[in-house]
Amino acid sequence: MIYYNDEKLLIRSMRESDGDVFYNTYLSYNWHPERKTYNNYYKEQETGKRKVFIAEYENQVAGICTLVLEPTEGPFGGKGMPEIVDLCVFFHLHHMGIGNKLLDVVEAEAFKLSNEVYLAVGVHSGYGIAQRMYIKRGYIPDGTGVWYQNKQLEQYAVCCNDDDLLLFLSKKLTVS
């Protein structure tokens, strides 16, 4: 399915072969991707549990964002709000508006299900660009503090500042 298309940017549904592109690109960043993540995204897309949005810039895969339609985890799990998960634009394409356009498309799809959407963002500096973008787009912290490995941390709890240390944000959606 095509969600958006202009002269340079295309946003479409995931193809099974896209997983290899993300896996290999993330390896080149010295990240620790798992192939099964992208296999699961594709399977969940095909079974209607998740929508997967792939950005192509000048005919090359440039980024990804997913929308979990009925999430069960986090502070909003089981409350009928979709969750935005795994927004990422390849480093060499940052600051070109691709992430914002992906979010425009994902939010429009989320609006078909709910008047509110949520997401989690990592709190370490590697997520700084995303943190700023979400706040500028109207996402606000939900008030539950930070979460670690899918559990809300109690005050003064010990944790590790890794990719599992998250802050949940939500946004009311409006018709534009």
In the chain, where the domains are located: 2-172
CATH topology of domain 2-172: Aminopeptidase (3.40.630)
Averaged pLDDT score across all residues of the chain = 95
Beta strands in the chain (DSSP E): 2-5, 9-13, 50-57, 60-68, 83-89, 116-122, 140-148, 151-152, 165-172
Give residue 176's pLDDT band: very low, low, confident or very high (50, 70, 90). Answer: low
pLDDT at residue number 175: 66
* Single-letter amino acid, residue 37: T
The encoded tokens of residue 95 equal 């600051």
The predicted model scores a pTM of: 0.94
Strand partners, 66: 52, 85
Reported as a single tens digit per residue, the pLDDT across 91-124 is: 999 999 999 999 999 999 999 999 999 999 999 9
Phi-psi region of 126 (alpha: psi -120 to 50; beta: other; left: phi over 0): alpha
